[in-house]
Structure 1
Amino acid sequence: MKTFVIAVAAASALAVPLSAFCQTDASPTRAQVRAELEKLEQAGYNPAKDDPNYPVDIQTAQARVSAQSGATGYGGVTSGASTSGSRTVVQPASSEELKQIYFGGQ
């Protein structure tokens, strides 16, 4: 009986981390794939054409669709401002502020 309890405990301990590998179903739906294909066809891509330049053709169509929608290959935001490199001015706390922080305002 004791070995059975140990075996169950070991099996459950090994099974718990497996839940971390579970993935959500984030694959596109049939409607989303069809809509993307229609956009590519409107941009000049023909999937029925037997073309030795297949990768170039679909990449060109994808670039046209991305340019029309304003999307880039590196994130979704195409406009905005960046404050990279700006300085944040920080002043040291006064003795009264330190008392409030460490001693509860006494």
Structure 2
Amino acid sequence: MKRIPRRVLCVIAGVLCSTYAFSDTPTAGYDPSAPKTRAQVIADFAEWRAAGYDPDDWIDYPENAIAAGRIVAARRAAQAANPSPQ
């Protein structure tokens, strides 16, 4: 039985290692616990502002945030129920 040269084994091992190192991780659906990007945070904040949330309104703070949160949740539920084709 022939022996495989060390260089061939090293090349094969290197190719396998680089394949695993540079492969993309699979994306699995929406994960709310995953960290958001800056663009996602800005878009989320703009959505809350459009729903009536004002971060400078400290007098009505809890009610203001709760009402805006309900509006945002209702809008997201409506979008999930009726996805628009893009």
Q: Which has the larger radius of gyration?
A: 1
What interval of TM-score do these two structures reach, taking the shorter chain for normalisation? 0.3 to 0.5
Structure with greater proportional helix content: 2
**More relative contact order, 1 or 2 (CA 8 Å, 6+ apart):** 2
Q: TM-score, normalised by structure 1?
A: 0.39
